[in-house]
């Protein structure tokens, strides 16, 4: 009987933290909440039909990382025809360092990218469906961005995201607050050799909030990214979170 009582007492002592970690809504990465370090990477499997049709591109996903660092959910924010499911399957196998809040592991939500790039040229005799043809047209109309005559390097894989050294919070527009509009604006940014935001464009907008997000992001600054000792422009996705506070 004493052993049973002791076991129950220990269970009651640790269960609040476990319940808190499991039941809490995911915290959005950004600001003071740093993105967790990835400790397990699984490369996406390139679908044969996409490879034969020369479909390539970058799939952007929103991932929920659980208290133990496992990816518990992933959904596509920016799609590439024929590649989305392969991206989701790979990301669900990734693992991160747990994020701690007041010493307790908590779930977080953040954007991740999966880059599909073909090394070879067009395969001879490939039969393309209308969807594949549309994907090819989209790619030809969207070449890699350049800055100062250099092709911007896409963040991902061995290219680590630079550290942000200057953060300017967005100004919440009055009309958006009055209309109770909130949400997350996702942008694609080119960061120049000095770490300044050279360009920014909206990938996923929120009505009434897009311009405020752009204005803020253009004032951010990052550490320069070096490739073989040479500073290079990089392209990466960032998020700006607008949340209404209750008074």
Contact call for residues 76 and 148 (beta carbons, < 8 A): no
Helices (H), 24-83: 48-52
pLDDT at 74: 93
| pLDDT, tens digit, 9 for 90 and up, residues 173-228 | 999 999 999 988 988 899 999 999 999 999 888 889 999 999 999 999 999 998 88
- Which residues fall within 8 angstroms of residue 153, CB to CB, at 6 or more apart? 159, 225, 227, 232, 233, 234, 235
Residue 59 backbone phi and psi in degrees, to 5: -95, 130
In the CATH scheme, what is the code of domain 24-143?
A: 3.30.2420.10
Instruction: Kindly give the residue spans of alpha helices, DSSP state H, lying in 69-164.
Output: 84-91, 130-140
CATH 3.30.2420.10 in the chain: give the residue spans: 24-143, 150-242
Note the pLDDT of residue 221.
97
**213: nearest Cα among 237, 195, 179:** 237
Q: What is the pTM of this model?
A: 0.51
Q: Residues 58-88: pLDDT tens digits?
A: 888 899 999 999 999 999 888 887 888 999 9
Instruction: CATH number for 150-242: choose from 3.30.2420.10, 3.40.50.10610, 3.30.1330.20, 3.40.50.970.
Output: 3.30.2420.10
pLDDT digits (tens, 9 = 90+) for 145-156: 777 777 888 876
């Amino acid at each position: 009987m004493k052993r049973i009582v002791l076991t129950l007492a220990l269970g009651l002592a640790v269960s609040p933290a476990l319940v808190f970690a499991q039941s809490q809504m995911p915290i959005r990465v950004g600001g003071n909440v740093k993105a967790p370090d990835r400790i397990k990477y699984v490369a996406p499997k390139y679908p044969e039909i996409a490879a034969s049709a020369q479909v390539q591109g970058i799939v952007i996903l929103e991932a929920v990382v659980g208290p133990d660092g496992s990816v518990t959910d992933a959904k596509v924010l920016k799609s590439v025809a024929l590649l989305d499911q392969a991206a989701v399957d790979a990301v669900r196998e990734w693992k991160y360092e747990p994020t701690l809040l007041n010493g307790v592991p908590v779930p977080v939500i953040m954007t991740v990218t999966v880059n599909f790039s073909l090394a070879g040229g067009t395969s001879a005799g490939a039969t393309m469906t209308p969807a594949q043809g549309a994907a090819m047209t989209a790619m030809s109309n969207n070449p890699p961005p350049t800055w100062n005559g250099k092709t911007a390097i896409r963040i991902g894989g061995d290219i680590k995201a630079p550290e942000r050294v200057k953060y300017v919070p967005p100004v919440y527009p009055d009309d958006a607050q009055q209309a109770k509009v909130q949400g997350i604006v996702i942008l694609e940014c080119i960061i120049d050799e000095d770490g300044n935001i050279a360009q920014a464009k909206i990938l996923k907008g929120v009505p009434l909030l897009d311009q405020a997000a752009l204005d803020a992001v253009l004032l951010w600054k990052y550490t320069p990214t070096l490739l073989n000792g040479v500073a290079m422009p990089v392209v990466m996705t960032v998020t700006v979170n607008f949340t209404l506070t209750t008074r």
